[in-house]
Amino acid sequence: MTANQVRSLTFLATIATCLAIAFSSQAAVVINEIDANQTGSTDLQEFVELSGPANLSLNGYVVVFINGATDASYLSFDLDGYQLGNTGFFLLGNPGVVPTPDVLFPTTTLQNGADAVALYLGNATDFPLGTPATTTNLVDAIVYGGSNNPPDTTLLASLGQSTQYIDTDTTSISRVPNGTGPFTENTSPTPMNSGIPQVPEPSSILLGMTLVGLLFASSRRLR
């Protein structure tokens, strides 16, 4: 084998290693806990918690809220410019959630079910209002509802899921153990933010404001 061939093989091996590392890190983030429903008619402490390797960049990820009435998106959050914290957590939620979420959305935003939260590789621009649920570029998803919501078989199939989890007024749905375990119902809400300052890309901020405006401009499904 010539020296040029050795250099070429070394170069290709380096590229393959980098791609493998990038792919593994992208697949490492999961939806860890959600709480869509609290006691009373106004939900003040809704949240979605992500988890993964400490300090991992969230560039290339998008969180999408999906309406079970239409099996389509009603809100999305571009995570470019954000990262997981030192303990491997990242939080999206209402202003009333403690600790303060890394990404805020208005109270009574997260629908009570049957609905879904999905984590995709992509951008918020890939999920304008009314985008059908899909498994394309899907990283993780959870379909949830109240005890009186029958399984939304269409939504489950659209996201490649088999279980619709129950979210009660006083509990959350969480992976046990964190990050690696299966979703478990009737857990005590334990939101965790990143614990570090977050600097989202300007486009993410603008897009988030636009999507919140669309949310209020659109009529919500009866809860």
Tokens standing for residue 188: 């005590």
What does DSSP say about strands 89-93 and 103-104: parallel, antiparallel, or unpaired? parallel
Block means of pLDDT (10 residues each) for the chain, 223 residues, are: 54 42 58 95 95 97 98 97 96 97 96 96 97 98 95 98 96 97 97 86 49 45 45
**Domain boundaries along the sequence of the chain:** 29-217
**pLDDT at residue 40, rounded to an integer:** 87
DSSP state of 114: S
**pLDDT at residue 4, rounded to an integer:** 56
CA dist., res. 90 & res. 80, Å (int): 13
Q: How many CB atoms lie within 10 A of CB 98?
A: 10
Residue written as tokens 């749905």? 173
**pLDDT at residue 113, rounded to an integer:** 84
Residues 6+ apart with CB under 8 A from 151: 114, 164
